[in-house]
Structure 1
Amino acid sequence: MSNREIEKISKALGDPYRLKIVQAICKEGWMQCAAVMDMLHLAQSTVSHHTKQLVDAGLLIAEKEGRTTRYRINNNRFETYLQLLHPYVAKAPADKLISSDNNKISTNENNI
């Protein structure tokens, strides 16, 4: 998996609606577009946009069922993504944070 693919997955998961979609599908096993619409109270076009981003990132698998689409998690893609992130997380000191305003690493004491 390239850095570009990691960025694409991270960006897809960075949206609150897309994260909720992934969480709900993980819980349910699969969901149809209409169920996602009901859960999020969003228009079909908006849900389609979000699910397309997740499918394009390889996180969801879309399966056509007549006139609707059902989505399930692509477990292999998630596992690969997590394995690639693990070395970064495992090496990061627990007492360090990345400050979002200046992108510098600082200690917890400085961020309180």
Structure 2
Amino acid sequence: MILDHKKVERISKALGDPYRLKIMEMAKGKGGEWMQCACIGNNIELAQSTISHHISQLVDAEILIAEKDGRNAKYKVNKEVLTAYVNFLNQLQE
């Protein structure tokens, strides 16, 4: 997968917030397991609406995958997009 500059910019902006980085760290889980939405709220002291905004930014940047689980949601890191992003950044140092 090759990312265009607009996609790289969107991912960079999404990762430019410490709370979003923390959410990504939580979402990486163990072996690609899904993280329940409640887990985020239990580990970040922010209003639910603020957490939802941060998650939305990560999902819109396609570095976090969201899936409905009944009335709840679960999340995991989109490894394909994140790997393409890292590869793009690595090309900058060549």
* Counterpart-to-counterpart distance in 2, 1:69 and 1:27: 15
* Counterpart-to-counterpart distance in 2, 1:71 and 1:22: 9
Q: In structure 2, what is the equivalent of residue 73 of structure 1?
A: 77
* Counterpart-to-counterpart distance in 2, 1:30 and 1:13: 20
Percent identity of the aligned residues?
A: 48
User: Could you tell me the TM-score, scaled by structure 2's length?
Assistant: 0.89
* Counterpart-to-counterpart distance in 2, 1:77 and 1:8: 12
Gaps of 5+ in 2: none
Secondary structure of the residue aligned to 1:64 is strand
Contact 1:37 1:44 in 2 (8 A): yes
Structure 1 residue 30: deviation in Å?
2.4
Choose which of 26, 37, 43 in structure 2 pairs with 1:24.
Answer: 26
* Counterpart-to-counterpart distance in 2, 1:9 and 1:54: 8
In the comparison of the two structures, how many residue pairs are matched?
90
Structure 1 residue 43: deviation in Å?
1.9
Superposed CA RMSD in Å reads: 1.1
Q: In structure 2, what is the equivalent of residue 34 of structure 1?
A: 38
Q: In structure 2, what is the equivalent of residue 9 of structure 1?
A: 11
Contact 2:67 2:73 in 1 (8 A): yes
Deviation by residue 1:13-54 (Cα, 9 ceiling, x = unmatched): 010000000011113432121110110022221111011000
Secondary structure of the residue aligned to 1:61 is strand
Q: Which amino acid aligns with 1:27?
A: G
Moved over 4 A (4+): none
Q: Which has the higher contact order (CA 8 A, sep 6+)?
A: 2
* Counterpart-to-counterpart distance in 1, 2:17 and 2:34: 20
Gaps of 5+ in 1: 92-112
Q: Which amino acid aligns with 1:80?
A: A
